[in-house]
């Protein structure tokens, strides 16, 4: 995990208005908004690297309600499209959603079929960051 965080920090792209990292209290408020607990690894991801901008994928963020990556908004849209309610989206990609299960593993919900991919899954948020986000 630390290696992945270090790599993200090195690759972070400068932007005119940098993102901020959330405080723990803000994540509690988000949990209350979306009515589901954030899996531990997603919480860790949001607290440590949700301010990183890199590549074409834009994972969820927690500090700016006006952002198109704001977790409660991304989750509301994903769930309205059919993503199972027990999954928390971490990233939208062309109508597909990478989602975190309560055990911390990441699955891919395919927008075309409206189903979870049989082939695509990752053991943790950090495996997804390394294998998908950093490779995008």
Residue 57: name the closest of 69, 47, 67, 45 by CA. Answer: 69
The tokens of 102 are what?
């309560």
pLDDT digits (tens, 9 = 90+) for 11-51: 999 999 899 999 999 999 999 999 999 999 999 999 999 99
Q: What domains can be seen in the chain, in order of their start residue?
A: 2-133 (3.40.1580.10)
Proportion of the chain above pLDDT 70, given as a percent = 100
Q: Given this model, what pLDDT does residue 16 score? A: 94
- With bands split at pLDDT 50, 70 and 90, how would you rate the model's confidence at 136? confident
pLDDT digits (tens, 9 = 90+) for 59-97: 999 999 999 999 999 999 999 999 999 999 999 999 999
pLDDT digits (tens, 9 = 90+) for 92-102: 999 999 999 99
């Amino acid at each position: 995990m630390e290696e992945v965080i270090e790599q993200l920090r090195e690759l972070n792209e400068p932007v005119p208005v940098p993102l901020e990292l959330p405080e723990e209290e803000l994540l509690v408020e988000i949990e209350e908004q979306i009515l589901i607990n954030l899996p531990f690894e997603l919480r860790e991801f949001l607290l440590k690297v949700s301010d990183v901008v890199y590549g074409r994928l834009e994972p969820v963020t927690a500090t700016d309600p006006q952002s198109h990556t704001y977790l409660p908004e991304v989750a509301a849209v994903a769930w309205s499209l059919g993503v199972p309610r027990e999954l928390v989206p971490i990233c939208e990609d062309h109508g597909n959603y990478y989602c975190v299960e309560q055990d911390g593993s990441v699955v891919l919900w395919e927008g075309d079929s409206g189903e979870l991919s049989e082939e695509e899954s990752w053991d943790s948020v950090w495996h997804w960051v390394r294998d998908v986000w950093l490779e995008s």
